Chains A and B, each alone.
Chain A
Amino acid sequence: MKILVPVKRVPDPATTIRVAPDGAGIATDNVKWVINPFDEIAIEEALRIKEKQGQGEVVLIAVGQQSWQEQLRTGLAMGADRAILVRSDAPLDPLAIARVIAKVAENEKPELIIIGKQAIDDDSNQVGQMIAEMLGWPQATFASKIELNGDRCSVVREVDGGLATVAFPLPAVVTTDLRLNEPRYASLPGIMKARKKPLNEIAVDSLGVDLTPKLKIKVLKTPEKRQAGRKLGSVQELVAALHNEAKVI
């Protein structure tokens, strides 16, 4: 089975994020970049499916700058077979990203697209759903278990208050939740092998999809620093403070 896994480059969750001086983005100096953790889970799941079936191909795709090659190489080191970098030096909206991936999927014809439910930088949670819509494929979001049976797929989804199981035919789009699996480490021999695996670059303009931005970040702000609390001597004082100062009662 051919599985396509879209991958996003995001700041390491352990990095301290600072807003850039112009307020339009984050300061990127001294930021360590990693594969979006939900996409890493998607790569792991694709590799497990391939290993279980004993055949198949895991293809990674990223839409971004030259530097995103690093994350694709890490995915190849984990065990993916090849990677596609759609070069776009300008940042794109989730809608444009979905269009690009859907377009590449039309050519690649994977039977399954597995993608993180959201990226930990902007938390949009849109791309997987939009790809499915554009391709006219079934979708299952927030997967905590994926089972394949011939050309059918069954997914356990984490929903409010419990688990929902959905079944649908392939091809399809599945988005991963945190508890789907624990991704493997890229092994050192795997890292050496990844250097020789194919990583093809496509210019985003060559795909002929509409990339017009629909979103504009007006301003980014650091959350206000929390003030230390105050200890009050009695319930009366507390009630008075809530009434007179906080004005909540």
Chain B
Amino acid sequence: MIGSSRDVDFFNLDELLRPEEKMARDAVRAFVSREVLPQIEQHFAHETFDRGLVAQMADLGIFGANLHGYGCAGMNNIAYGLIMQELEAADSGLRSFASVQSALAMYAIYSSGSEEQKQRYLPEMARGKLIGCFGLTEPDHGSDPGGMETRARRDGRGWVLNGVKRWITNGSIADLAIVWAKVEEGVTGFIVERGTPGFATSDIHGKFSMRASITSELVFEDVRVDEAHHLPNARGLRAPLSCLTQARYGIAWGAIGAARTCYLCALDYVKSRKQFSRPLAGYQMVQRKLVNMLTEITKAQMICLRLGQLKDAGTMRPEQVSFAKRNNVNAALKIARTARDMLGANGIVNEYPIIRHMLNLETVNTYEGTFDVQTLILGRDITGENAFD
């Protein structure tokens, strides 16, 4: 329960938030502390996702919270970011569920779908009645999605899909998959519903990270879909990449939540644990670690707040999201590792939330564009030289 309702706000950034932004954050924080924190260690230990939380998150209005119309809450992006922060303060897997549902699956339909597709799917997804997943990554193509091998060919008035997608969050519990495939003209997207003949899923086990979240493989063998399941406005790799920008935005905020939980837990621990003559908090090396953690959390908060302002103004560049994702997740990962170290042996048991966050953040540092890929995006932006190939 550590850190359930406490905040880290060294620069009184709260004063810069609108009432509805604070209310959204506080509502999700209360939900997480009452419904998620008491159970989360058990779900992580047993590699289960708590499906009961889906309806509760839907009742709160979390899914697609920053989308407008179609039964979505229509909140601004700072409120959305704060929601992601509070979810990830509990567990990165929980935030992943919400990210995939909202920023990847719903956003793909919202931005590239036809009006009929939006009417048909988005309200049900906002209500949590339909769960979505997002199939872009393949077994042999992670950082280079352009190399994807999944193909779609025209067949009469419909399409036939073949290929494999891997590392897909929510894959086996999803009612629909947004699937990206190559056609003659380039990359485009499809909505493949569960139960479509030739579409099968299996879960990836043995994970040491994101254990309270489902990760799957999707297999498509001559899967026939009609034109009504093709995203008409998804033309080229830009379509899925624009979804990734949305997801990275939420991740940049979410990482602050995980870092905050680790920092507050370590702070409490070193204040109460005595070694030699005094509490650990009284030693210079420990204080230096705490100060570094606080500094990194505060910087991450400031980056996100400004990023949210830019996104709300419609002037945010994808490179700025890469900057925030790269910095904040990496900072959170380092904070988690440091906190783990500060708790000594107690840092490796699930009596404290730290090791779970630390393991989760290894995934967060990798997915939706690795730390190194974000570096290349930023490097290209400031030099004009493309170092990807």
Contacts and interface: CB of A to CB of B under 8 A. Distances in A.
Interface of A: 12-14, 29-30, 32, 34, 69-70, 73-74, 77, 185-192, 194-195
Interface residues of B, number: 27
A45 to B, nearest CB: 18
B144 interface: no
Contacts of B75: 188, 191-192
A198 to B, nearest CB: 16
Interface of B: 4-7, 9, 12, 14, 19-20, 22-24, 26-28, 30-31, 59-62, 65, 73-75, 79, 83
A29 B10 CA distance: 11
18 contacts: A30-B12, A73-B19, A73-B23, A77-B20, A186-B23, A187-B59, A188-B27, A188-B65, A188-B83, A189-B74, A190-B61, A191-B20, A191-B73, A192-B20, A192-B73, A192-B74, A194-B23, A195-B20
A193 to B, nearest CB: 10
Residue in A69, A74, A185 with the greatest tally of chain B CB atoms within 10 Å: A185
Given A73-B19, A187-B59, A188-B83, 8 more contacts: A14-B4, A70-B23, A186-B26, A188-B75, A188-B79, A189-B73, A189-B74, A194-B23
A69 B83 CA distance: 22
Main secondary structure of the interface of B (DSSP, over half): helix
A185 B30 contact: yes
B9 A187 contact: no
B89 to A, nearest CB: 13
Given A188-B62, A192-B75, A12 B5 contact: yes
A186 B73 contact: no
B61 A74 contact: no
B203 to A, nearest CB: 31
A178 to B, nearest CB: 15
Contacts of A186: 23, 26-27
B5 A191 contact: no
Contacts of B65: 188
A32 B29 CA distance: 13
A14 B6 contact: yes
Nearest to A76: B23
Given A30-B12, A32-B7, A188 B73 contact: yes
A224 B26 CA distance: 33
Contacts of A187: 27, 59-61, 73
A194 B14 CA distance: 20
B4 A77 contact: no
Contacts of A189: 61, 73-74
Given A12-B5, A32-B7, A185-B31, A191 B14 contact: no
Residue in A29, A70, A187 with the greatest tally of chain B CB atoms within 10 Å: A187
Contact of B61 (A32, A69, A70, A188): A188
